[in-house]
Chains A and B, each alone.
Chain A
Amino acid sequence: MSTPPWLWALLSLGAAMLTGCGDPLMVKPDEHDEIGEGYRVDPQIEWSRQQDRKLQIWTVDGPQLEQLRLYAGLEAGDSLLPTPRRSISKQAWEQRPTYHKGMRAHDVMELVATTLAQSGAIDVVVERLQPAEFGGQSGFRFDLRFKADIGVTYRGLATGMVTQTGRLHLILYTGAKPHYFDAYEAIIQRILSSIILL
């Protein structure tokens, strides 16, 4: 019999669970939302938003069920992981996968896979890399899937582009394969079609 650690946490410490990063905000439809200084999108529906330096995380039902990560203007040395709220060891900081100038679409796909695996995802598969428009410019897209340690299978899709100055814009959507990925996939496609580069 497995013992969910979250219940023990509740039992001994009270509710002490993650709240994500930054202050939560509501994103509303028809309000073109600017992602950093990189691009803006039409959210289509209401989302809960958490914001980090170059990253926004949007979700409706909770980040463990589905989440849309919008990265803008990542530079060499930037990670896809949110800024840690607590100090981490120098070794952990140095070992986190980072974006490097000169990375191509295939390298970015590998960066996403490595970042997911280092975050605890199991059996990460990235596939079907293909050219795709990103805000009217030449970019790429690929699909992904992985498992969480709790046993849920997730599906995902990613689209992005590298700017002329070598910065990376990336949008990553992941959701639990049962129900949640499919529930918002059509909306995500409309959001991707609404990208306007700044």
Chain B
Amino acid sequence: MIRGTTLGGVQDRHGFRAMNGTRWRRRYRLTRTLAMLMVPLGLAACVQVQPYLAKELPSATKPLRVLLMPPDVAAVELATAGVPLPRADWTALAQAGLVDAVADTLRKHGAEMIRYRRATGIVPYAEKHLEAIALHETVLQTILTYRYGAAQQRAALPTKQSGLDWTLGESVAPIRADYAADYALFLVYRQATSTVERALFAAISFVLFGFIHPTSQSVGFASLIDLNTGAVIWTNLLQGQSLDVNRPDGIRNRCERLLSGLPL
């Protein structure tokens, strides 16, 4: 019903360049509409999570203090050729949704959320914490390769065939000392949404050739670090595609999925 008329009508009568502040919402609706076209054609929305837990945490005798590190969030719009165009508005929306979801989740677990104080507007981390941050990213790449990678990649490290056995060691001591927190929570979130043109191209190529081009994708990674030992306690990878990728409730839903299974 909306398919041809709405898309054609909006583009023909007003054009995207004539749109004002509500332009992105319209564009989102159009993108969603185009994406919805694909559902009956076999491309169902799907978001999956894959958590790993190193060990169950002992029961806490007092509320745990969890330090939320500056979430690393970016949202882009994919042009027809697949070129990513940064979208500050979607990034801000995702960032806010992520922080809200963390606050709610920790509250439910009876834990206290502490926000990391950004060093400057540009550089998020204090100099003395950079060693731990850089090591975390390296450990993260290792975990993504050998725990979340394809079977061949997982098999390439037989010394770590199962479980979650990595650490940041003593490098986390300066963070623990500065914030008196029990755990640090790192979050990375990326989402890519197709422009209307790309979504249209995807629909056409599916109809004509059977090729499926995902129109909206999200990927997120969360890790919980024990600040007393440096051990990586828990990780979760979220990836998939959904139609509500840039709506606050959609972002919140995915953030909650990303934090599902947080072992606090």
Contacts and interface: CB of A to CB of B under 8 A. Distances in A.
Q: Give the dominant DSSP class at A's interface.
A: loop
B150 A178 contact: no
Contacts of B166: 61, 65
Interface residues of A, number: 39
A89 interface: no
Interface stretch (B6-14, B97-105, B156-164, B177-185): B156-164
Given A10-B144, A10-B239, A24 B149 contact: no
Interface string A3-21: 1101110111001011110
Interface of B: 72-74, 82, 84, 124, 130-135, 137-139, 141-142, 144-146, 148-150, 152-153, 155-160, 165-171, 188, 190, 192, 217, 219, 221, 230, 239
A48 interface: yes
B153 A178 contact: no
Contacts of A11: 190, 192, 217, 219, 239
Nearest to A45: B159
Interface string A179-194: 1100100000000000
26 contacts: A1-B72, A2-B72, A4-B188, A10-B144, A10-B219, A12-B192, A12-B217, A15-B149, A19-B149, A24-B157, A26-B159, A48-B159, A60-B159, A62-B145, A65-B139, A150-B134, A150-B137, A152-B135, A153-B131, A176-B138, A178-B131, A178-B169, A178-B171, A179-B135, A179-B168, A183-B169
Nearest to A10: B219
Contacts of A3: 74, 190
Which of B72, B137, B170, B192 counts the most chain A CB atoms within 10 A?
A: B137
A62 B142 contact: yes
Nearest to B91: A1
A148 B138 contact: yes
A151 B133 contact: yes
Contacts of B192: 11-12
Nearest to A178: B171
B130 to A, nearest CB: 6
Contacts, number: 117
A59 interface: yes
A148 B141 CA distance: 13
Interface of A: 1-4, 6-8, 10-12, 15, 17-20, 24-26, 46-48, 50, 59-62, 64-65, 148, 150-153, 176-180, 183
Given A48-B156, A178-B171, A6 B141 contact: yes
A192 B217 CA distance: 49
A180 B169 contact: yes
A123 B82 CA distance: 36
A179 B190 contact: no
A62 B72 contact: no
Contacts of A24: 155-158
A8 B192 CA distance: 9
A180 B132 CA distance: 12
Contacts of B72: 1-2, 4
Given A178-B170, A179-B170, A179-B230, A8 B138 contact: no
A18 B188 CA distance: 21
A176 B141 CA distance: 14
Contacts of A178: 131-132, 135, 168-171
B144 A17 contact: yes
Nearest to A6: B141
B153 A7 contact: no
Contact of A1 (B74, B131, B167): B74
B31 to A, nearest CB: 17
Nearest to A152: B134
A112 B217 CA distance: 42
